[in-house]
Chains A and B, each alone.
Chain A
Amino acid sequence: MRYLPLTAADRAEMLETVGASSIDDLFSDVPAAARLAGPVELPTRKGELDVERAMSRLAARNRPAGAGPFFCGAGAYRHHVPASVDHLIQRSEFLTSYTPYQPEIAQGTLQVLFEFQTQVSALTGLPVANASMYDGSTACAEAVMMAARVTRRGKAVLSGGLHPHYADATWTLAHTAGVATTRLPAAVDAEAAVIEAIDADTACVVVQTPNVFGTVTDVSKIAEAAHAAGALLVVVTTEAVSFGLLKSPGEMGADIAVAEGQSIGNALSFGGPYVGLFACREPFLRQMPGRLCGETVDAEGRRGFVLTLSTREQHIRREKATSNICTNSGLCALAFSIHMTLLGQTGLKRLAEVNHARARRLDAALTAVAGVQRLTPRFFNEFAVRLPRPAAAVVDALVARDIIAGVPFARLDPVAGMDDVLLVCATETTTPDDIDAFAAALAEELR
């Protein structure tokens, strides 16, 4: 087997050193009834060529986003990732290293994490960022838990513009720990409706901008209302490219900002692995979940980096930890950080402008189709349209024309009564020809 270096002679010699007569001796602690006599019923080993063929056959049964016109967003976004990003993250020293617990031989990973934290802090406009979370949705859930710890209150109000999957993941974690969630009805442009739901037990309000319908909102007023009631404001962003153009959460008064970082540096990959961004105001630092990297010096006074404040974490605090998280999304955070380094503020702003321009072009083309109405009042690179027919049926029909038309809102939330709402997105990867083809096909389909 090509991945197993021991030879039969090695094994015999090693067994002798160990003092065992056979490999079975080493499994003698396993109860006899539970020992398998031979391999389980699965195919036996395959050469690299055969595996590649088998996997490629499976891959060929999918329609990649880049194979034709494609307009899905709603929490995951197709962007161009420079070739150097994927090359660098495949370097052995990044790919095959572990969590940097021995900082003397992990300064590469640690300096990247320190740079990543600084980048996330700049993007979100908040002073403290961690070394990443599993993804945006779990970061959102952890933000609610953190707000409950900080305020010692037991309720979170979730806006009707929050991605329904984020709301579901947040409910799952929060209700278990005794934190109640009030989820407002799905609404295209009503982030501020959370204000009405704030009461004396509200730990935080959770709003999203751009929200799941693409609506961009200045949340400053929501921040004021939340703070006046002693609650925190959690701002969620699923499209990290929007940070290049829009006001940052911190600038608008957010106490905690969480985001999905997939857009920068990471492939769509059918939903994962992604990278959650998590930032907050300074006073809440010691209530943060996840890993933190900090600057220090070595024994000769040279600058270096270490994982720090680990007394919050499970391996020290066990059942009293701020969360059970034991990993970050290291390699995805590295991809994010490299892509962001290539972009810089100049490139990110330009990228965001191009995205916005493409989405406006898409808007002009789609709303020119009879019966199609845009619902989103202000958008960045995605928006919702109302169709004269159920959106799911239209999307399925357009697959036959090789157009992936977007995400029916009902797929995310089937009970909102929005069966005719379609979420569409355009990025720098969307060409004018793609847009024209979509509009033409939609017009024919709706005729």
Chain B
Amino acid sequence: MNMLNVGRVTRSELAADAPAAPRAHGLIQEEPLIFELDGWDKTGVDLDEADLDAGDLAGLTREAPIGLPGLSEPETLRHYVRLSQKNHAIDLAMYPLGSCTMKHNPRLNEKMARLPGFADLHPLQPMATVQGALAVMEQLTHWLRTLTGMPAVALSPKAGAHGEFCGLMAIRAAHEARGDARRKVLVPTSAHGTNPATAALAGYAVQEIAQTDDGRVDLADLEAKLGPDVAAVMVTNPNTCGLFERDVLEIARLTHAAGAYFYCDGANFNAIVGRVRPGDLGVDAMHINLHKTFSTPHGGGGPGAGPVVLSAALAPFAPRPWLVAGEHGLALAEHGEGETLQAFGRLCAFQGQMGMYVRALSYMLSHGSDGLRQVAEDAVLNANYVKARLSEAMTPAFPDGPCMHEALFDDAWLNGAGVTTLDIAKALIDQGFHPMTMYFPLVVHGAMLIEPTETEPKREIDRFCDAMLELAAAAQAGDVARFKGAPFQAPLRRLDETAAARKPRLRWTP
């Protein structure tokens, strides 16, 4: 999820006595834009002359040059390899972005997704020629249903937020089928921004539910706001404070008693997979970010995949296409006839993120039911270990009781130090780590949300904790310059985001 920099735009603040950053250093090369490499007449692809002219398209063809440079293959490799070296990555060091689940991406899954039998398959080939692909979808569905204890899955949503939309649309369709149009969706104050944005997109008014002092949904407030106009309650569980909603069964009971549906944001399913089934918690719909719990690569910001598990009450309204078993094997039901008559519509052109289905299934087969349970246990253990170690110098937002897969701190420990959460994050870059999620959730002042994931070795977690404790000591000691100018060691210093937004420059121009 994206929640960094919320309301905190960085500005250039140069401490006068800051050490000078090197302009070109060692292996890090300066690299111009492709448009600055004089490749206007070059190409890195050898193609035959076309054997026909395009005379039949007279008047429809482009006359002026497009304005795209080309590069030979060696130049192309250099360009992108040089750029790549300016990125932090999971494979380089711990990437403890809370709520984003930056865990190891097994390379077997990449290899499997590239098998020609999956990668070189057209979405509209005859069903008889894609039975293996449909079987992948069927097996993935089986695993997701079994792990969640839910009867149905809509596979096609292309990301978590797309899955939220899918779930709310199914809820809307279910209410409308009963002639019970409802107008409101309740969302806790700690929710991801996508929750209220999705509810609004699905045509609902959004009302916030208060949070208790211990970081959970305020049941009294929920009960007071539930009523005949509430279509759904959207709750993330484990929630964005990294805590399990202890009263989840009561949340479900109250929601259902009011005739509403319980939407669970499954962004944090990785904390409970194999140990808790959302179906046992009274959930009606939940999206699963395959790129989090089941480790499909984040890829610099996508592509994701957000299948939605649905209760029996919502299943008839799942979007097309549906995977169905017929007399000739598996098939896709793509139109509004037969069993898909009540489907709320279609979310995208084809059947969703097949490349991600293959990776996720490969991940599931590798871990198995026992390995997936271990995933949740190690993720939770690692987070609690971080919480325990850092609590000696920092202030946990919710000190009592265990956290789940991520540890949340506020900025009370920085009072009077002249250093902010943002400064800590930027200084952490100089220590060789990607910063934690900052200023999210909004309900905690100066929030720092740390999610180590289960794929970090203890040695790396200790290295991270040591770095954080060193920064904490420096902040307490008043070494403000170290923070205000940070980062010093990254390819660039702090960027002027205010200027970028004030006068947007969104493409290269000569």
Contacts and interface: CB of A to CB of B under 8 A. Distances in A.
A409 to B, nearest CB: 11
B499 A331 contact: no
Nearest to A36: B275
6 contacts: A3-B366, A40-B369, A74-B124, A93-B84, A246-B57, A300-B14
Q: How large is the interface on B (under 10, 10 to 19, 20 to 34, 35 or more residues)?
A: 35 or more
Contacts of B478: none
Contact of A102 (B115, B335, B434): B434
A354 to B, nearest CB: 5
A55 interface: yes
A395 B92 CA distance: 49
Interface in A347-363: 347-351, 353-354, 356-357, 360-361
Nearest to A244: B66
A341 B345 contact: no
B135 interface: yes
B374 A31 contact: no
A59 B116 contact: yes
Closest 5 A/B residue pairs (Cβ): A344-B70, A59-B117, A271-B350, A331-B299, A61-B132
Given A62-B133, A330-B301, A344 B349 contact: no
Interface stretch (A13-21, A151-159, A197-205, A226-234): A13-21
A143 interface: no
Contacts of B280: 33-34
Given A138-B348, A350-B50, A94 B87 contact: yes
A96 B298 contact: yes
A66 B47 CA distance: 19
A19 B400 CA distance: 12
Given A111-B83, A304-B492, A404-B125, A46 B344 contact: no
Contact of A342 (B70, B135, B275): B70
Contact of B52 (A88, A356, A396): A356
A194 B457 CA distance: 60
B85 interface: yes
Contacts of B249: 31, 33-34
B355 A267 contact: yes
Contacts of A66: 116, 120
A6 B349 contact: no
B445 interface: no
B48 interface: yes
**For A74, A298, A411, which residue has the most chain B Cβ atoms within 10 angstroms?**
A298
A243 B124 CA distance: 23
Contacts of B493: 104, 298-300, 302
**For B71, B77, B361, B508, which residue has the most chain A Cβ atoms within 10 angstroms?**
B508
A187 interface: no
**For B35, B97, B169, B194, which residue has the most chain A Cβ atoms within 10 angstroms?**
B194
Interface stretch (B198-206, B219-227, B308-316): B198-206
B464 interface: no
A185 interface: no
Interface stretch (B4-12, B254-262, B469-477): B4-12
A239 B76 CA distance: 24
B70 A314 contact: no
B380 A17 contact: no
A105 B86 contact: yes
B506 A103 contact: no
Nearest to B52: A357
Contacts of B158: 134-135, 138, 272-273
Contacts of A270: 118, 121-123, 130, 133, 350-351, 354-355
Given A14-B382, A171-B345, A296-B500, 6 more contacts: A26-B384, A29-B244, A105-B487, A117-B506, A324-B165, A330-B300
A298 B495 contact: yes
Contacts of A316: 6-7, 193
Contacts of B175: none
A127 interface: yes
B233 to A, nearest CB: 15
**For A101, A275, A305, A321, which residue has the most chain B Cβ atoms within 10 angstroms?**
A101
B183 interface: no
B193 A354 contact: no
Contact of B301 (A100, A323, A412): A100
A58 to B, nearest CB: 4
Given A3-B367, A270-B354, A326-B159, A42 B147 contact: yes
Contacts of B13: 299
A78 B92 CA distance: 35
A45 B76 contact: no
A23 B380 contact: yes
Interface string A28-67: 1111011110111111111010111011111111111111
B62 interface: yes
Given A247-B60, A327-B303, A56 B3 contact: no
A295 interface: yes
Nearest to A83: B73
Contacts of A414: 335
Given A64-B121, A76-B124, A216-B57, A41 B369 contact: yes
A319 B87 contact: no
B353 interface: yes
Interface in B1-37: 1-7, 12-14, 21, 23, 31, 33-35
Given A114-B508, A351-B45, A411-B334, A4 B277 contact: no
Contact of A92 (B7, B90, B353): B90
A84 interface: yes
Given A40-B369, A55-B361, A341-B69, A326 B434 contact: no
A121 interface: yes
A98 B244 contact: no
B324 interface: no
A91 interface: yes
B196 interface: yes
Contact of B303 (A4, A131, A134): A134
Contact of B365 (A36, A54, A136, A299): A54
**For A10, A67, A341, which residue has the most chain B Cβ atoms within 10 angstroms?**
A341
Interface string B408-430: 00000000000000000110010
A108 B60 contact: no
B246 A31 contact: yes
Contacts of B193: 313-318, 321, 326
B339 interface: no
Nearest to A57: B132
A111 B31 contact: yes
A58 B135 contact: yes
A293 B492 CA distance: 16
Contacts of B43: 342-344, 346-347, 350
A344 B39 contact: yes
A378 to B, nearest CB: 6
